[in-house]
């Protein structure tokens, strides 16, 4: 039987979405879904939900649940990861401590001081997971959702013996749908080429039957002044290609926006919005727990999650082209080989097969290298347990560097290390 492990299964909305997809697939009767979470109470809720869904759909999928990670991954074919090390309490630290120093953030999970510290507490866990997978499930595929995406898969393939890891994110697919709607062309009729670093990839090719659609996009922007009040459009107009990340998220990877009140107002940047989303997620979990206890169950609706599509293509041979985050190794020729990059990939029975893109336009590669430099130093800090590299990562982070002096950055890093209880 195909053994699919959910890491961080206590995130019940994510687990529900994946189960809605996987339980509808033709191999569901010969599949074992294994749920793992270190929070026993959340794991119990996720397990009750999974068993309710299996019974509701009348499929033969077996459900297992394990608090012990090694028991969960032993013999796995696929491991889907969406852990959040430290949970909501750690996320609050990532916002509250920098705010005392005057550093503004929106999501704080990818770059910026929040992204650096999410990585510093997550990388040791992921390296340990890679070591366990190399021992217990060496032929499995690790599909990672956890941010920071440019750092987590790299930490696994560089810091452990396990190399079969890909990262997935909705940003490219969502951006392509958004652009198709803006120019009024069905998304499945558009020739896209999108590549770069996760959350800072760019649409390189945007065509319909040989027609470059960027002029149509320019017309759509000119016809709607509200579009020009977004970070994405500002970046498109400055760098010549449309970015894949949302305006609120993209603003915190750059030096031009969050430290200036006028830019926050002009681009309508929602500072601290991720904390609101986290609180909504807590409410969603509480409602799911109540509904399951009352016998009401949950809504089952296919979502076409990227992990489920990857598994379906490998198991059935149905080919798909999806964007995934993989070791560069020459795929993007003007970015470092060891970097984790986001490129189109063919997925079929042979697995996830990345596409070579070649050179990015030089201005995009330069911007990506700025992004990757922070990740490189954060990775070194985590793998080598060197506090100095944590300072260096924060010093080179665009938003932090635009806001604080060198001595203030060192003080902020020290305060974050103490608040998170990290050892360096």
Q: Which residues are catalytic?
A: 170
For CA atoms 319, 322, 327, 332, give the dihedral sign: positive
Please count the other Cβ atoms lying within 10 Å of the Cβ belonging to residue 276. 10
Burial of 128 (0-12, 13-18, 19+ CB in 10 A): middle
DSSP string computed for 304-325? --HHHHHHHHHHH---EEEEEE
Cα angle 170, 172, 177 (rounded to 5 degrees) comes to: 95
Residues 6+ apart with CB under 8 A from 190: 176, 179, 180, 206, 207, 208, 213
Q: b or e along 312-343 (b: 16 or more beta carbons within 10 Å of the residue's beta carbon)?
A: bbbbeeeeeebbbbbbbeebbeebeeebbbbb
DSSP string computed for 27-51? TGGGEEEEEE-S-HHHHHHHHHHHH
Nearest to 47, CA basis, from 57, 34, 29, 31: 34
Hey, what are 340's tokens?
Answer: 């984790």
Strands (E), 92-190: 141-144, 165-167
According to DSSP, the residues that pair with 31 across neighbouring strands are 2
Hey, what are 172's tokens?
Answer: 């490219």
d(CA 340, CA 332): 10
d(CA 405, CA 390): 15
């Amino acid at each position: 039987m195909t053994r699919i492990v959910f890491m961080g299964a206590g995130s019940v909305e994510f687990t529900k979405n994946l189960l809605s997809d996987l339980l509808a697939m033709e191999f569901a009767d010969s599949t074992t879904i294994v749920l793992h979470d270190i929070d026993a109470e959340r794991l119990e809720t996720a397990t009750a939900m999974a068993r309710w869904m299996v019974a509701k759909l009348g499929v033969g999928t077996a459900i297992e649940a394990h608090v012990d990670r090694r028991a969960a991954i032993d013999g796995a074919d696929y491991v889907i990861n969406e852990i959040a090390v430290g949970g909501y309490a750690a996320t609050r630290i990532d916002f509250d401590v920098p705010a005392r120093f005057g550093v503004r953030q929106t999501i704080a999970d990818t770059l910026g001081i929040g992204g650096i510290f999410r990585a510093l507490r997550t990388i040791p866990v992921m390296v340990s997971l890679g070591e366990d997978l190399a021992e217990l499930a060496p032929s499995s595929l690790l599909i990672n959702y956890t941010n920071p995406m440019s750092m987590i898969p790299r930490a696994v393939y560089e810091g452990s013996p396990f190399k079969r890891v890909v990262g997935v994110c909705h940003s490219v697919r969502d951006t392509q749908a958004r652009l198709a709607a803006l120019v009024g062309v069905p998304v499945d009729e558009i020739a896209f080429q999108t590549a770069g670093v996760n959350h800072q990839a760019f649409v390189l090719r945007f065509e319909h039957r040989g027609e470059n659609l960027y002029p149509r996009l320019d017309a759509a922007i000119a016809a709607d002044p509200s579009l020009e009040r977004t970070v994405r459009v500002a970046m498109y107009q400055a760098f010549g290609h449309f970015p894949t990340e949302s305006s609120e998220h993209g603003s915190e990877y750059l030096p031009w926006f969050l430290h200036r009140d006028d830019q926050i107002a002009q681009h309508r940047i929602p500072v601290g919005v991720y904390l609101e989303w986290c609180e909504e997620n807590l409410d969603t979990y509480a409602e799911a727990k109540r509904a399951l206890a009352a016998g009401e169950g949950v809504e089952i609706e296919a979502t076409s999650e990227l992990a489920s599509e990857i598994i379906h293509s490998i198991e059935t041979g149905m080919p798909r082209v999806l964007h995934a985050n993989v070791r560069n190794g020459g795929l993007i020729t003007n970015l470092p080989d060891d970097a984790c990059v986001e490129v189109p990939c063919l997925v079929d029975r042979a697995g996830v097969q990345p596409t070579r893109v070649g050179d990015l336009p030089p201005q995009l590669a330069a911007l990506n290298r700025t992004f990757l430099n922070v990740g490189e130093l954060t990775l070194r800090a985590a793998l080598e347990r060197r506090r100095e590299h944590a300072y260096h990562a924060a010093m080179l982070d665009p938003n932090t560097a635009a806001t604080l002096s060198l001595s203030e950055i060192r003080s902020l890093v020290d305060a974050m290390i103490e608040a998170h209880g990290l050892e360096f």
